[in-house]
Amino acid sequence: MSTSEAGKISVKELEGEIIEFLDGMSNKPGGKRTEPGCNLIHGKACALGTCVDNIPRVTPIDLYNDGLTVWIAGEPGGKIANIMRNPNVSVGVYEPVDHRKEQKSLQIWGTAKLINMKNDPMEFVKRLTFFGIDEALKGMIEEFTQNEQLPAGQEDASYERLKKLFNLIRIMPEKMILLHMQPGRFPLKKLWEPGKATIKVAGG
């Protein structure tokens, strides 16, 4: 695409390109587990940025998506505490940069909401199943039990306790930039906002 073509992209086209990218980077369900351990089909990691009192925090973590909506699974910790105080977050989804090949990366700005057994148990359980997290957690508990990290014979109780501690982070995008890099060409910055899509040539 030349500089003169920059800016010509429809919202539907850009949303489709972003969803295709997220689908390729996200974790996928591993089906019914056949042995102890996590059975997720892992994608790439992302970086979740939160901020409270002007102190930023970035957490490397894996991700899930349902269309343009990003979901992150999180145990209690700093990221959860930050989101409870400030739901404005950012996410970076990317691969290690290699200028010798075509690559894409995605920046997301959005609003995070915590979904858990206390505030929305039906949605929480539904999403655990949809993303395959429930089977993965049960498999990990079996593995921990085998390695004597958890007491034997209490796998179901351990799973129920873990569910009560666990949060799903749902991130609704408000702005996204898909950076499209190609060897020998200036990168393309594809900007999405609700109802709006544009392209700019970075460095051109």
Residue type, 149: Q
pLDDT digits (tens, 9 = 90+) for 8-27: 899 999 999 999 999 999 99
Residue of higher predicted confidence among 203 and 132: 132
Q: Give pTM, 2 decimals.
A: 0.91
Residue type, 34: T
Domains of the chain, by residue range, sit at 3-30+41-121+167-199
What is the C-alpha separation between 164 and 46, in angstroms, rounded? 25
What is the C-alpha separation between 189 and 3, in angstroms, rounded? 12
Specify the DSSP element, H or E, that contains 47: strand 45-52
If you ran DSSP here, which 8-state letter would residue 190 be given?
E
pLDDT digits (tens, 9 = 90+) for 21-50: 999 999 999 999 899 999 999 999 899 999
Centroid of chain to Cα 101 = 24
Task: Match 């089977």 to its residue by tokens.
Answer: 135
- Cβ neighbour number for residue 70 with a 10 Å cutoff: 27
Specify the DSSP element, H or E, that contains 192: strand 188-193
Provide the pLDDT confidence category of residue 6 given band limits of 50, 70 and 90: low
What is the C-alpha separation between 171 and 155, in angstroms, rounded? 31
What is the C-alpha separation between 143 and 154, in angstroms, rounded? 13
Class of domain 3-30+41-121+167-199: mainly beta
